[in-house]
């Protein structure tokens, strides 16, 4: 009897573990950006000039992030000022901090690893089909990467006319690698989405 069980469950267990691993790999290839935007964007400003706020810094990291923002703003129809102050002033605020966060984590089903009962997301006992990975809430220390872009209009008493913040969580310090996604998220649908909080999904290249 035990020999028959081992013969049947051995390959099945390997199959379920493979499916679970592929599912986890698929999830890991997607980035979610949480974006909050507020705007009172003036009309008819195509071709108007802009500049970065003084004091943004001139280090290599700052320059790299500014280049990303510069490319995104160029697609809006604004033109970077060269020899005179721009009408719009663009300020960046970004960073990455370690914070506790509750995530769902896959755990092996005791059906295969000894014991038939244990805590589940849906109660006690087997999973919904009696096999496969279960998902339980686990508190981890994660990195909260964030970028805020603020744009002020000099011609209207330096009034803020656009503010958008993107947040992406990562497992480790990855500010430089997620910055392109945050810049894209901040300018997604520019200059619309006033007062909205949205989630934008990005596919990471393999």
Q: For the segment 152-178, what is each residue's pLDDT rounded down to a tens digit?
A: 999 999 999 999 999 999 888 789 999
Tokens at residue 101, please? Answer: 């966060």
Question: pLDDT tens-digit profile of 116-141?
Answer: 444 443 343 444 455 556 778 877 78
Averaged pLDDT, 89-109: 83
Q: Which domains does the chain have, with CATH numbers?
A: 31-203 (3.30.160)
- Neighbouring CB atoms inside 10 A of 42's CB total 14
Report the distance separating Cα 69 and Cα 55, nearest Å: 16
The model scores a pTM over 0.85: no
Q: At what angle do helices 175-186 and 60-74 cross, to 10 degrees?
A: 20
Please tell me the least confidently modeled range out of 46-55, 62-71, 118-127, 163-172. Answer: 118-127
Q: Taking 90 as the threshold, does the pLDDT of residue 98 lie above it?
A: no
List beta partners, residue 34.
Answer: 167, 199
pLDDT: which is higher, 112 or 154: 154
Query: Which class for 153: exposed (0-12), middle (13-18), buried (19 or more C-beta within 10 A)?
Result: buried
63 in helix, strand or coil? helix
Longest CA–CA separation in the chain, Å: 86
Phi, psi of 79 (to 5 degrees): -120, 130
Please tell me the least confidently modeled range out of 14-28, 163-177, 188-202. Answer: 14-28
């Amino acid at each position: 009897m035990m020999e028959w069980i081992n013969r049947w469950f051995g390959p099945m267990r390997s199959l379920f573990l493979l499916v679970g691993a592929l599912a986890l790999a698929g999830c890991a290839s997607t980035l979610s950006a949480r974006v909050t935007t507020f705007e009172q964007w003036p009309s008819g400003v195509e071709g108007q000039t802009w500049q970065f706020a003084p004091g943004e810094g001139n280090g290599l990291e700052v320059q790299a992030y500014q280049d990303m923002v510069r490319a995104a703003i160029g697609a809006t129809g604004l033109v970077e000022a060269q020899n005179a102050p721009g009408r719009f002033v663009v300020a960046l605020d970004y960073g990455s901090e370690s914070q506790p966060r509750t995530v769902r984590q896959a755990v092996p089903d005791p059906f295969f690893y000894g014991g038939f009962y244990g805590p589940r997301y849906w109660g006690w006992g087997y999973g919904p089909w009696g096999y496969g990975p279960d998902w339980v809430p686990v508190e981890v220390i994660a990195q909260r990467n964030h970028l805020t872009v603020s744009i002020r209009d000099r011609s209207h008493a330096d009034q803020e006319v656009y503010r958008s913040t993107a947040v992406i969580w990562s497992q480790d310090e990855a500010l430089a690698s997620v910055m392109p996604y945050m810049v894209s998220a901040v300018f997604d649908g520019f200059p619309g989405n006033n007062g909205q909080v949205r989630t934008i999904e990005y596919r990471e290249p393999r």
